């Protein structure tokens, strides 16, 4: 689940996260919010009269809500999952899923919303992906209805998430996505390294880019026929994780999955810039080019299928790959241990680059994928009940524990200290290896459609001791403040969309050429002029103009 959550968050092609707007006041609603219960007199069928924080939601009458369902191939949907029946038992709500394959989810979601055929609840939407549907009014301005969601509001206040939430606001001051909420920043992707090779070569765990370079050179010297670092996630976004979190976090200019709109808040310059033209981006590409030139980084990393990269790791043709906690346990260790029982793999801390020891930069957020609400839901007689249900399942402590862990005594237990323990016959992320049942595949819990966000304690409740130690290392680092708002109006947004795609395509193409040595860095200035010819300066000026306008209007 975690792999796909983080991966999709960075693949938001055409998203406008960096272009989102901000509120006109300090609370988590806005001036147009629905404040009175009387506003929903015709929409309260099935709703609880006394719903609030700390109260379990149960509809006053049996209800059914349609939901768009992102079907994950690792745990394909089953109608007999305990999740479905227990959810109905607890809440009196039956979900009616419209099932879409993960591989086609974003496209089908857009088509259904555009045709007016979308289900009422539209989850697995990452910040920025809602923006194309704002102008048409296809989705609700959910910020108008936060008084129906006490758990959501309570977490915004308790975790001081207002600045993060404000990055979602559009030019009208509203936001149209109910995001998943994290108590703290959560870093996951990094380099996965053969620690037994480190031990053999007498190497310490690398901490910086220079350390990584030295490690790979030592591996190459010992194994001259290898490419020590052969990466995955090159299709369809070249350098997906590598250019985003693995090295992008250290550079301050995210590529790969993190390129999104091509707009980056430059913390040093205190203004927005086009990512693909930044000196920070150039520095990252120069570092990776050096790895390719010295045959330390496999040039096929940007074009090979994931299975090919994993096979190279398992067969000993490579020793380093990008990954996260789940891929380490589920995809990397099993085939490697089968081929070489003495081999050992670890996640190393995200390599520290020119930006210093940071766990999150200005372009990161504590917001996770979330939910859009179809505009037709507002006219439903069950609208209030639906919002209460969403608030309970996705944002209450009780609902989040249920979605993640399942049923106490069946899928998990709690020890005397309150620590969660999987039932002995249930496995998840390798916590009970060899158990006959799986929390996701057999029960439907810890499902990426329903289980994300929450407190750090809940997030880490399924982490191994190894992963918790890794998180401690990362959490000791600095988190930079979120980027400021730059709200575009409808006309500006349409213009930005026209400029964005050709700029991104050109930057992506040349990113690969620079890394692979097909284009010399002596031509960097010429490349920047090519971007300028594709309206880069106008695009950046548009965003910075919106930022300055916001500052002038709101301080």
Compute the Cα dihedral for 94, 100, 102, 107 and give only its sign.
Answer: negative
The per-residue DSSP string of 397-432 comes to HHHHHHHHH--BTTTEEE-TT--EEE-TTEESTTSS
Compute the Cα dihedral for 436, 439, 440, 443 and give only its sign.
Answer: positive
Question: Is 90 exceeded by the pLDDT of residue 206?
Answer: yes
For residue 215, give the 3-state DSSP assignment: helix
In whole angstroms, give the CA distance from residue 244 to residue 254. Answer: 5
Beta bridge partners of 454: 182
Query: What's the pLDDT score for residue 128?
Result: 82
Q: 324-373: per-residue pLDDT in tens?
A: 998 998 899 999 999 999 999 999 999 999 999 999 998 888 998 999 99
pTM (predicted TM-score)? 0.81
More reliable by pLDDT, 244 or 555: 244
| Distance in angstroms between the alpha carbons of the first and the last residue of the chain | 40
Q: Which two tokens stand for residue 182?
A: 């994290």
Q: Which two tokens stand for residue 449?
A: 């459609």
Binning pLDDT at 50, 70 and 90, where does residue 4 land? Answer: very low
Mean per-residue pLDDT, 395-408: 98
Binning pLDDT at 50, 70 and 90, where does residue 464 land? Answer: confident
Query: What's the pLDDT score for residue 38?
Result: 52
The enclosing H or E element of 281 equals: helix 279-293
The per-residue DSSP string of 228-273 comes to SB-----SSSTTTTIIIIITHHHHTS--GGG-TTSEEEETTTTEEE
Binning pLDDT at 50, 70 and 90, where does residue 493 land? Answer: confident
Q: Is 212 within 8 Å of 351 (Cβ atoms)?
A: yes
Share of the chain above pLDDT 70, in %: 93
Q: 59-91: per-residue pLDDT in tens?
A: 999 999 999 999 999 999 999 999 999 999 999
- HSE (side-chain half, CA atoms, 13 Å) at 70: 25
Q: Which two tokens stand for residue 510?
A: 């040349």
Query: What's the pLDDT score for residue 555?
Result: 61
Mean per-residue pLDDT, 412-430: 93
Q: Is 230 within 8 Å of 306 (Cβ atoms)?
A: no
Query: What's the pLDDT score for residue 547?
Result: 93
More reliable by pLDDT, 464 or 335: 335
Q: 18-59: per-residue pLDDT in tens?
A: 444 333 333 444 433 444 445 798 999 999 999 999 999 999
Binning pLDDT at 50, 70 and 90, where does residue 2 land? Answer: very low
The per-residue DSSP string of 444-491 comes to --S-TTT---B-HHHHGGG--HHHHHHHHHHHTSEEPPPPPP----HH
Q: Per DSSP, which regions of 183-248 are E strands?
A: 190-194
Q: Is 277 within 8 Å of 528 (Cβ atoms)?
A: yes
Compute the Cα dihedral for 339, 342, 347, 349 and give only its sign.
Answer: negative
Binning pLDDT at 50, 70 and 90, where does residue 312 land? Answer: very high
Query: What's the pLDDT score for residue 8?
Result: 38
Angle subtended at Cα 171 by Cα 166 and Cα 176, rounded to the nearest 5 degrees: 60
In whole angstroms, give the CA distance from residue 359 to residue 245. Answer: 10
In whole angstroms, give the CA distance from residue 395 to residue 389. Answer: 10
Q: 106-123: per-residue pLDDT in tens?
A: 999 999 999 999 999 999
Residue 205 has a CB neighbour count (10 Å cut-off) of 14
In whole angstroms, give the CA distance from residue 527 to residue 511. Answer: 10
In whole angstroms, give the CA distance from residue 336 to residue 332. Answer: 6
For residue 89, give the 3-state DSSP assignment: helix
Q: For all residues of the chain together, what is the average pLDDT?
A: 91
């Amino acid at each position: 689940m975690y792999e796909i959550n983080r991966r999709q968050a960075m693949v938001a092609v055409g998203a406008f996260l960096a272009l989102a707007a901000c509120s006109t006041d300090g609370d988590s609603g806005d001036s147009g919010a629905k404040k009175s219960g009387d506003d929903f007199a015709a929409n309260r069928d099935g709703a609880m009269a006394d719903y609030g924080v700390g109260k379990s939601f149960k509809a006053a009458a049996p209800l059914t809500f349609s939901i768009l369902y992102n079907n994950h191939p690792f745990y394909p949907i089953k109608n007999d999952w305990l999740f479905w029946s227990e959810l109905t038992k607890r809440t009196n709500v039956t979900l009616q899923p419209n099932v879409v394959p993960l591989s086609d989810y974003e496209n089908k979601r857009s088509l259904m919303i555009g045709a007016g055929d979308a289900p009422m609840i539209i989850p697995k939407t990452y910040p920025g992906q809602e923006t194309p549907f704002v102008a048409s009014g296809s989705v609700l301005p959910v910020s108008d209805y936060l008084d129906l969601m006490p758990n959501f509001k309570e977490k915004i206040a308790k975790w001081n998430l207002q600045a993060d939430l404000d990055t979602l606001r559009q030019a009208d001051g509203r936001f149209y996505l109910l995001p998943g909420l994290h108590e703290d920043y959560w870093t996951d992707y990094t380099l996965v390294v053969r620690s037994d090779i480190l031990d053999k070569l007498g190497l310490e765990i690398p901490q910086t880019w220079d350390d990584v370079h030295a490690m790979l050179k030592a591996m190459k010297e010992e194994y001259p026929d290898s490419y020590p670092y052969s990466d995955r996630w090159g299709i369809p976004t070249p350098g997906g994780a590598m250019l985003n979190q693995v090295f992008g976090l250290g550079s301050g200019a995210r590529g790969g999955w993190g390129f999104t709109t091509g707009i980056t808040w430059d913390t040093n310059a205190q203004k927005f810039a086009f990512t693909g033209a930044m000196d920070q981006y150039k520095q990252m590409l120069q570092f990776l080019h050096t790895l390719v030139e010295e045959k330390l980084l496999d040039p096929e990393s940007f074009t090979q299928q994931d299975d090919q990269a994993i096979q190279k790791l398992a067969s000993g043709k490579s020793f380093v790959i990008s990954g996260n906690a789940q891929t380490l346990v589920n995809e990397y260790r099993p085939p490697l241990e089968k081929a070489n029982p003495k081999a050992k793999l670890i996640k190393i801390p995200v390599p520290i680059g020119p930006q210093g020891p940071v766990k999150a930069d200005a372009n990161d957020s504590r917001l996770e994928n979330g939910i859009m609400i179809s505009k037709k839901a507002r006219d439903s007689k069950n609208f209030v009940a639906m919002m209460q249900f969403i608030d309970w399942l996705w944002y209450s402590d009780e609902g989040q524990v249920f979605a993640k862990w399942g049923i106490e005594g069946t899928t998990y237990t709690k020890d005397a200290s309150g620590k969660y323990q999987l039932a002995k016959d249930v496995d998840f992320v390798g916590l009970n290896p060899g158990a006959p049942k799986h929390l996701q595949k057999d029960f439907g819990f810890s499902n990426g459609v329903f289980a994300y966000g929450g407190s750090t304690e809940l997030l880490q409740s399924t982490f191994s001791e190894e992963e918790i130690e890794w998180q401690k290392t990362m959490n000791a680092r600095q988190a930079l403040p979120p980027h400021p708002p730059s709200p575009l109006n409808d006309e500006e947004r349409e213009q930005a969309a026209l400029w964005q795609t050709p700029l991104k395509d050109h930057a992506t193409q040349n990113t690969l050429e620079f890394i692979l040595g097909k284009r010399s860095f002596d031509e960097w200035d010429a490349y920047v002029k090519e971007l300028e010819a594709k309206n880069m300066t106008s695009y950046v000026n548009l965003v910075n103009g919106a930022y300055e306008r916001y500052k002038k209007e709101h301080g």
